[in-house]
């Protein structure tokens, strides 16, 4: 199995960061198999969505609606409402497995792989790509 960890700078605010090109670079020329992507963080996840047409901002709005950054959370360290960030992976998991055919991720039309990070307390995230030959 081939594996690699990359660092993604997310900044100090909630973000949906498209990492499709990094994933595509990793699998280029590897043939057929499965790409497993994992974010080893308690407050980030991965989503396969359309980007660039407002869906990434809509996802952040939906997270705020579903999990408001309020002081109601029992988990209270970090910035205000940080407890909700620890609940996020129950809805947006920290992993994704994608088919790879001929060294290319077999996405559907308009699909992109995105790192979802609502936690502005962390400036960078690690993403592990692992390729399993098919």
| pLDDT score of 134 | 87
| pLDDT score of 27 | 98
Residue 33's alpha-carbon distances to 27, 69, 103, in angstroms, are 9, 39, 8
Q: What is the mean pLDDT of the chain?
A: 92
Is the confidence at residue 95, as pLDDT, over 80? yes
| pLDDT score of 83 | 79
pLDDT tens digits for 5-35? 999 999 888 999 999 999 999 999 999 999 9
Global pTM reads 0.93
Is the confidence at residue 112, as pLDDT, over 80? yes
Is the confidence at residue 79, as pLDDT, over 90? no
Q: How far apart are CA 46 and CA 111, in angstroms?
A: 13
Least confident range of 8-12, 44-48, 59-63 = 8-12
Does the domain at residues 2-133 carry the CATH identifier 1.10.357.140? no
């Amino acid at each position: 199995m081939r594996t690699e960890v990359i660092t993604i700078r997310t900044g100090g605010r909630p973000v949906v960061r498209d990492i499709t090109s990094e994933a595509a670079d990793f699998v280029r020329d590897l043939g057929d198999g499965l790409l497993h992507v994992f974010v080893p963080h308690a407050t980030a996840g991965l989503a396969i969505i359309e980007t660039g047409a407002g869906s990434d901002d809509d996802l952040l709005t939906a997270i705020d609606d579903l999990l408001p950054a309020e002081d109601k959370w029992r988990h209270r360290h970090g910035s205000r409402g940080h407890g909700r960030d620890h609940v996020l992976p129950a809805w947006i998991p920290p992993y994704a497995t994608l088919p790879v055919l001929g060294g290319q991720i077999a996405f559907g039309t308009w699909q992109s792989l995105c790192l979802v990070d609502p936690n502005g307390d962390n400036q960078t995230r690690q993403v592990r790509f692992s390729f399993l030959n098919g």
